[in-house]
């Protein structure tokens, strides 16, 4: 299964979401899943030492909607680890239009 995790984490991996989501994505990637983590925090995470693909919303560029749609379409499921973030609503709407749960 191809899983896209979306989380509002940034900077150093400390506790809460910034710790648990990368660990979850890493564990899933070790069980034959293809896992991507899209971070939507204010800055990129440090280098990717995990067994999954890592993107930061800033990597998508100024035309993020087409690139975002392409990223979403490459996955079987999108897991959004937050609520009430407008950028995440765009991601949810794009996934919904593509019939991706």
Q: According to the model, what pLDDT value does residue 62 have?
A: 59
- Residue spans of the domains in the chain: they are 2-97
Residues 6+ apart with CB under 8 A from 61: 67
CATH 2.40.30.10 fits 2-97, yes or no: no
Q: According to the model, what pLDDT value does residue 19 have?
A: 83
Q: According to the model, what pLDDT value does residue 66 have?
A: 81
In whole angstroms, give the CA distance from residue 4 to residue 78: 5
Q: What is the pLDDT of residues 23-37, one digit of tens each?
A: 999 999 999 899 999
Q: According to the model, what pLDDT value does residue 47 have?
A: 67
Alpha helices in 1-101 (DSSP H): 17-29, 64-73, 86-97
Low-confidence ranges of the chain (pLDDT < 50): none
Assigned token pair, 15? 């506790």
In whole angstroms, give the CA distance from residue 77 to residue 43: 25
């Amino acid at each position: 299964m191809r899983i896209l995790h979306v989380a509002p984490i940034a900077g150093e991996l400390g506790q809460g979401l910034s710790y648990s989501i990368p660990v979850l994505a890493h564990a899933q990637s070790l069980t034959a899943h293809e896992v991507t983590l899209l971070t939507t925090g204010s800055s990129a995470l440090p280098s990717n030492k995990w067994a999954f693909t890592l993107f930061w919303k800033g990597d998508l560029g100024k035309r993020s909607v087409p690139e975002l749609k392409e990223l979403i379409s490459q996955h079987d499921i999108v897991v959004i680890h937050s609520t009430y973030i407008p950028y995440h609503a765009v991601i949810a709407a794009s996934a919904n239009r593509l019939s991706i749960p």
